[in-house]
Structure 1
Amino acid sequence: MSLDSLKSAVPDYAKDLKLNLGSVIGNSDLPAQQLWGTVLATAIASRSPIVLRELEPEAKANLSPEAYSAAKSAAAVMAMNNVFYRTRHLLSDHEYGTLRAGLRMNVIGNPGVDKVDFELWSFAVSAINGCGMCLDSHEQVLRKAGVDRETIQEAFKIAAVVEAVGVTLDAEAVLAAE
């Protein structure tokens, strides 16, 4: 199971996705921990069993146990936060924004890895989950930490391609079962 297996599973009509998958993961300028943490967190966020099954072993092989756990934590906590903060933002009653969230998210303050890496993974998951408030928040933290726009864009390119591959392969699996 690997990136190559995943690329070979992408149908011909989605050739751009296959090429982009090889490019954003195979030719990334991100350091290994940032790259593979982003890959793992977005594979989880994509909710695609095929994508997760193919990318997780390679991510695990390229991450320390702490980074592996932190990337999964980023996907988990952002699954909750993205729904909560996106809903709060979309409601026309802005009083919800004044209420205490009351949700545990301790891992954000102590992720067990470099804070920048965790923020990058959280940002990428937020891109998949479509939470503008979370995207803005994580982007600001990353920029204040000195992360350049190109690095941040690299993370959301990975998110975009991983999500698109998941959608495509999951659709193909459903269509093949008919």
Structure 2
Amino acid sequence: MGLDAIKAALPEYAKDIKLNLGSTVGTSTLTVEQAWGTALACAVAGRNPVVLREIAAEAAERLKPEAVEAAKGAAAIMAMNNIYYRAKHLIGDEDYASMPARLRMQIIGKPGVDKGDFELWCLAVSAITGCGVCLESHEKTLRATGFTREQVHEALRIAAVVHAAAVTLDAEAALA
């Protein structure tokens, strides 16, 4: 169950991903809530059913229910925000910057968990979806609230490995 099941499902050519799953999520220097919340938010963003199911099951054993919901909420809100803000940025017309989003984002203000942890999860999801505007914004907020570069770096490592597992298992399923 959990990370072990994902590792077992990965093909031999993804041995690095297998090893990195254990060394990023399993032995992270982040708190348990930060690491597993990051992994769960990234599993939701990665959209692979095996990765999501297994990480969700293991995260549920390690996180309070409100943290599970907040991690899923971080992935959900960033699915919207990353598209919106990345598109505004990529269009390259500064007039869009002054236009209000008029999109509901109340979970960001009241996530039900430590706001710093929620910001960390949002940053990790933004790394997966590639929204530079959101990455910059969440990193600045995290640094201003006392998170270290090392903590941000750990979340990025977890995002990279969880996403790589999801991509690899999606590819294997498509080729089967």
TM range, normalised to the smaller chain? Answer: over 0.9
Give CA-to-partner distance per residue, 1:95-135, whole Å, 9 cap, x none.
11110110000000111110100000000000001000000
Give CA-to-partner distance per residue, 1:6-46, whole Å, 9 cap, x none.
11111111111111111101111111110110011000000
Give the Cα separation in 2 of the matches to 1:119 and 1:142. 7
**Aligned residue for 2:92?**
92
Give the Cα separation in 1 of the matches to 2:30 and 2:72. 19
Matches within 5 A, 1:13-32: 13-32=13-32
Letter in 1 for 2:166: G
Matches within 5 A, 1:25-174: 25-174=25-174
Give the Cα separation in 1 of the matches to 2:86 and 2:74. 17
Aligned 8 A contact 1:44 1:75 in 2 = yes
Give the Cα separation in 2 of the matches to 1:155 and 1:89. 24
State TM-score, norm by structure 2. 0.98
Q: CA RMSD in A?
A: 0.7
Instruction: Report deviation, 1:92.
Output: 2.2
Q: Which contiguous aligned blocks of 4+ residues in structure 1 show a shift greater than 3 angstroms?
A: none
Give the Cα separation in 1 of the matches to 2:156 and 2:10. 20
Give the Cα separation in 1 of the matches to 2:58 and 2:171. 24
Gaps of 5+ in 2: none
Instruction: Report deviation, 1:149.
Output: 0.5
Gaps of 5+ in 1: none
**Would you say how many aligned residue pairs link Structure 1 and Structure 2?**
176
